[in-house]
Amino acid sequence: MQIFLTVLMIVLNIFSVYLGVMALFTFKRRKPYPQVPPSMRFAVVIPARNEEGVVGNLIARLWEQTYPRKMFDVYVVTNNCTDRTAAVARAAGAKVIDCAGAVTCKGDVLHQAIEALMPLRYDAFAFFDADNLPDAEFLSRMNDALCAGERVCKGRLKAGNATQSWVAGGYGLYHALMEWTYSRPHSAAGFSSNLVGTGFVAHREVFEALGGWNTRSMCEDTEFAAQCSRIGYRVAWVPEALSYDEQVASFRVSLRQRRRWCRGMVQAARLMTLSMFSRSCPRRGMARDFGMLFVISHTAPLATILALISLPFQSPLMLAMGGAGLVLSYAGLALVGLALCALGGYPIGRMGATVAMFPIFMASWVPLQVMALFVPVRRWSAIEHSGQPDAEKDDSDHEGGQLSRQNAV
């Protein structure tokens, strides 16, 4: 029995090894997109449900873009709001689209937004959550990428409140980890980067090909990226386009949020996996590379379950070695967290608790991923936002260039 379980765990973990090999492409040197004159007309889309406390900050930051004001409009898409989100948005200079009918997830909101905006002949659409603060160069750098031929572009995301708590900092280090082990290397290899559901841009050509925004899972960002990869559009990584995101500071709320994310990934995987490996995909390698994310969303937690099942069959020596391995893994992850502080541009001197607790933050994903396979999330619950009080004022990107100065809110 022990041999059988061991062999099965090895088979399941082979898929994760693929990501490890692909991560080596992170060392491939990339060239920034050539800077070109503004030519794309953008619609900036902000889904918002009861976000009166933060949406005004985002709109104000958007008006500070170096991109010509006449070449973009800002739309706040309100969804069953019971506060003054719409009034605050209008007062800040944005236009408001009010969702009609039943809304069960963010994908429903984006469906209605794109349906309303496509007839207005915008060249591209930029998407932000209401608690974001984009760098002043965001639209300019996205214009460069679109003019270079890219059609879906993801910018670099940082935690704007990383020093608020070890949990908020943990999100920041997690974003840096995903940047260096997934987005950078996969984009360097010609495949799709990770698409977190904010701070990204899509050309209208993509929505014409897809027939609008038509996702069905709670993980609308990954499902949309998969749909793009399936029909031949990759998600390009544009680290010069930076935005700050407010992260959850409470561990309890974090567990609730990340459980929803994990369940949404499983939903998207069950909707999309088979089609990602179809011979009809115009860029099969890219589609299959992205499809591996969906495969691993099942194989990784299943390998964890098998590891737990195998414990009674282990000898005392093996159990002792396993315990020692956990201690070493904890220390190793803490060192990784320290490195990610530097790579992500976070102040190491103020991130001590985050670095020490980073192994706990990462380990807490494991039960959430296992639960996601078997326990549905039956009710969507909102995450309250209060702003980014300690967003870093200065940030140099890891390519060596200086990004625009960020002001605290």
When pLDDT is cut at 50, 70 and 90, the band that residue 376 belongs to is confident
The pLDDT, as a whole number, for residue 409 is 26
Q: Please, what is the end-to-end C-alpha distance for the chain in angstroms? A: 58
394 contacts 406 by C-beta, under 8 angstroms:
yes
Q: Are strands 95-98 and 124-127 parallel, antiparallel or unpaired?
A: unpaired
CA separation for the pair 92, 88 (Å, rounded): 6
When pLDDT is cut at 50, 70 and 90, the band that residue 1 belongs to is low
Structure tokens at 300: 């990784």
CA separation for the pair 26, 256 (Å, rounded): 31
Give 45's Cβ-side CA count (13 Å radius).
Answer: 29
The pLDDT, as a whole number, for residue 330 is 94
Burial of residue 172 (number of CB atoms within 10 Å: 0-12, 13-18, 19+)? buried
The pLDDT, as a whole number, for residue 383 is 73
DSSP characters over 34-66:
PP----PPEEEEEEESS-TTTHHHHHHHHHT-S
When pLDDT is cut at 50, 70 and 90, the band that residue 312 belongs to is confident
Q: What is the DSSP letter of 181?
A: I
What mean pLDDT, rounded, does the chain reach?
91
218 contacts 260 by C-beta, under 8 angstroms:
yes
**Which residue from 119, 188, 193 is spatially nearest to 154, judged by alpha carbons?**
193
154 contacts 193 by C-beta, under 8 angstroms:
yes
Query: Looking at the predicted structure, is the pLDDT value of residue 399 above 50?
Result: no
CA separation for the pair 133, 356 (Å, rounded): 28
Task: Note the residue count of the chain.
Answer: 409
Residue keyed to tokens 């969906």: 294
Q: Which residues pair with 125 in a beta bridge?
A: 43, 202
CA separation for the pair 261, 121 (Å, rounded): 33
DSSP characters over 99-156:
--S---SHHHHHHHHHHHHGGGT-SEEEE--TT-EE-TTHHHHHHHHHHTT-SEEEEE
Of the ranges 61-70, 303-312, 344-353, which one carries the lowest mean pLDDT score?
303-312
Mean pLDDT of 271-280: 96
Query: Looking at the predicted structure, is the pLDDT value of residue 384 above 80?
Result: no
Mean pLDDT of 257-281: 95
Q: Which residues pair with 55 in a beta bridge?
A: none
Q: Quick one: what percent of the chain has pLDDT higher than 90?
A: 78
Distances (CA, A) of 376 to 240, 371, 379, 400: 37, 8, 9, 44
Contacts of 353 (CB under 8 A, 6+ apart): 165, 166, 169
Query: In this predicted model, what pLDDT tens digit does every residue of 16-66 receive, in sequence order?
Result: 999 999 999 999 999 999 999 999 999 999 999 999 999 999 999 999 999
Query: In this predicted model, what pLDDT tens digit does every residue of 130-182 receive, in sequence order?
Result: 999 999 999 999 999 999 999 999 999 999 999 999 999 999 999 999 999 99
The pLDDT, as a whole number, for residue 391 is 54
